[in-house]
A = this chain, B = another copy of it.
Amino acid sequence: MTLNPADPAFADRLSGLLPEGVLRLPEPRYLEEPRGSFQGQAGVLALPQNAEQVSTLIREANAARVPVVPYGGGTGLVGGQVMPGGPPPLVISLERMAAIRAVHSLENVIIAEAGAILADVQSAAQAAGRLFPLSLAAEGSARIGGNLATNAGGVNVLRYGNARDLCLGLEAVLPTGEIWHGLSRLRKDNTGYDLRNLLIGAEGTLGVITAASLKLLPIPASQGTAVFTVTDPQAAIDLLALARDHAGEGVSAFELIHRQGLNFLAETLQQVRQPFAKAPEWCVLIELGLPRGLEAEETLAELFEAAEATGLVSDGVIAQSESQRQAMWSVREHIPLANKAIGSVSSHDISVPISEIPAFIERGREVVAGLGDFRINCFGHLGDGNLHYNVFPAQGRKREDYEALRGAVKEAVHDLVHSFGGSFSAEHGVGRMKTVDLERYGDPAKLAAMRAIKQALDPNGIMNPGAVLKTV
């Protein structure tokens, strides 16, 4: 399939069909991504104001065989938002479609345009006395359309699921330019194939999401946060089970933290106050959100007592105020920044079945040690099996020393993850960074079905070429 560049002739044709101001000269910020691994390009940048304008853009791009890159908040970590090679594409930024179209409190539904910043969706829910639970580090700049296109995860997946689980319906423009009007407010609707979940997680390769109907939830009456030290990952998992015995579905977050991360923090971000005087080898951050009649602090205290009695935990701090709560989260949230300051050889966003985590961590240590002298910072969303498994140079050495080993480390970690029935991309997606992994580890029947679906819905291959599926 040959694609054509979004050249001046194409731009001219578009400008005759769209109001002034929709087409812009591409600025550098649309062509960069946070990791600096891919440098994008653009022939034309469009900032549409509604689904009809998106439809016009896609229809024309499809007719002219011009590649299209949908652009949300630009916070993706796998290069799905920038197209480094091939004919310069039409980049469509959804930033001017940022309205909260409606909040239906009684129905626990919010309708947001794709360009709405995640934090603004959270705030609109809060203002209506409701919770929109999707929460992740980039929430101040990530846009909900991108969150859905990548099926974003974050810290509350344990309780509330991924972006996918929070979406009731979509308005989207398909690769033909047709608008699918699917902004359903229904909880039950069994009328045909699930196009919604096909577009969610397709990373812009099957269409452009322009708006979404999202689920809201009750705000828990009482919230509490604690950090407990545990002897090892197995104790952390047993503690999770115990926490569920005590709080049922009220366990909202359960994050594993390793001493390596706390040491990196102490080394690079001294201003972040740490919960323990002496960093424990392993600790977990637990958050509970409980209904009326329960006090989360009390439940956490009972949990600690029960866990201490069985030897699962040895020390712990329960937040007594909102500022203490925020301080605990601050530790967790600054670990990625500390990692960045140290500079990893290779970082992995992986998941394994929860009960396999202890064995995976042990085997991982052996496998990585077999490749050279490294430090490992393994931390993250233990409660949903998603670990950020980052491999660093040994103390005193530089990441540059390890250039030759990077590929081998990545492959060894991903092979190990795969052997445990895990995923090489738990929450970040495939983008352009992991298309080779998808081919290596993906189920062949699933891959064949994916290619057939892509071909069926986007026969000209205009939508985000090179993302998810390698272009031949």
Contacts and interface: CB of A to CB of B under 8 A. Distances in A.
Interface of A: 104-107, 109, 150-151, 153, 157-158, 161-162, 164-165, 174, 176, 178-182, 184-195, 197-198, 200-202, 206, 217-218, 220-221, 237, 241, 244-250, 290-294, 299, 351-355, 381, 384-386, 421-430, 434, 437-438, 441-450, 452-457, 468
B106 A174 contact: no
Contact of A385 (B188, B201, B202, B427): B188
A187 B174 contact: no
A445 B187 contact: no
Contact of A191 (B184, B190, B424): B424
Copies held by the complex = 2
A158 to B, nearest CB: 7
Contact of A201 (B107, B174, B194): B194
Contacts of A218: 244-245, 248-249
| A-B residue pairs, 6 tightest by C-beta | A248-B291, A456-B456, A197-B197, A178-B445, A187-B384, A189-B423
A453 B456 contact: yes
Nearest to A177: B445
A323 to B, nearest CB: 25
Contacts of A247: 291-292
Contacts of A105: 241
Contacts of A193: 198, 201-202, 206, 449-450, 453-454, 468
A178 B265 CA distance: 49
A355 B198 contact: no
B446 A180 contact: yes
A172 to B, nearest CB: 8
Given A193-B201, A218-B248, 13 more contacts: A106-B237, A150-B190, A187-B351, A188-B384, A188-B385, A191-B438, A192-B447, A193-B198, A194-B198, A197-B197, A218-B245, A292-B299, A453-B453
Interface centre among A195, A202, A448, A449 (most CB of B within 10 A): A449
B185 A421 contact: yes
B353 A104 contact: yes
B446 A195 contact: yes
23 contacts: A106-B355, A107-B354, A107-B355, A153-B190, A161-B165, A162-B188, A179-B445, A180-B445, A184-B421, A184-B423, A186-B421, A186-B423, A187-B351, A190-B426, A190-B430, A192-B446, A194-B198, A194-B200, A195-B446, A217-B249, A293-B293, A449-B457, A453-B456
